[in-house]
Amino acid sequence: MAGERHPGSFRDPAGHVVLQAGVPVRHVTEAGRDDYQALIDSGLYAALVADGSLIPHEDLGRPSDLPPDGTHTDTWRVLRPERVPMISYAHEWSFSQLKDAALL
């Protein structure tokens, strides 16, 4: 269940994104436990998923194989969101986005 924390996931005190074999999963920390539980218990999560306003996720529970280096010791739950297909066309991009992509 362990993986490498994504470098772009650093602002949220309630969790972080980890890449596990190239698949993004979200680690919810103890700091986010109450908010997550309130979302699930209130029925809001189910309602938002049902009407297509929120991407569903699979709750993988608490990981049993956290790495020994202590990098994910604050993890309470691991969530795997449903993959969203992304189709993007060049005509949807601004000039600066096209330029940035060309310079990669």
* Cα 15 to Cα 9: distance, rounded to the nearest angstrom: 8
Hey, which residues does 20 pair with through a beta bridge?
23
Q: Which pLDDT value is given to residue 40?
A: 97
Q: In this predicted structure, what is the pLDDT of residue 68?
A: 53
Please tell me the total count of domains within the chain: 1
Residue 93 and residue 2: Cα distance in Å, rounded?
35
CA dist., res. 74 & res. 16, Å (int) = 10
Q: What global pTM score does this model have?
A: 0.71
User: How far is residue 87 CA from its own chain's centroid?
Assistant: 20
Q: What is the pLDDT of residue 72?
A: 62
Residues spanned by the domain of 50: 4-102
* AA letter at 51: D
pLDDT along the chain (104 residues), means of 10: 74 88 89 96 98 94 65 83 86 93 89
DSSP state of 82: P
CA distance 93 to 98: 6
Measured CA angle at 24 (ends 17, 33), to 5 deg: 45
Which amino acid would we find at residue 5? Answer: R
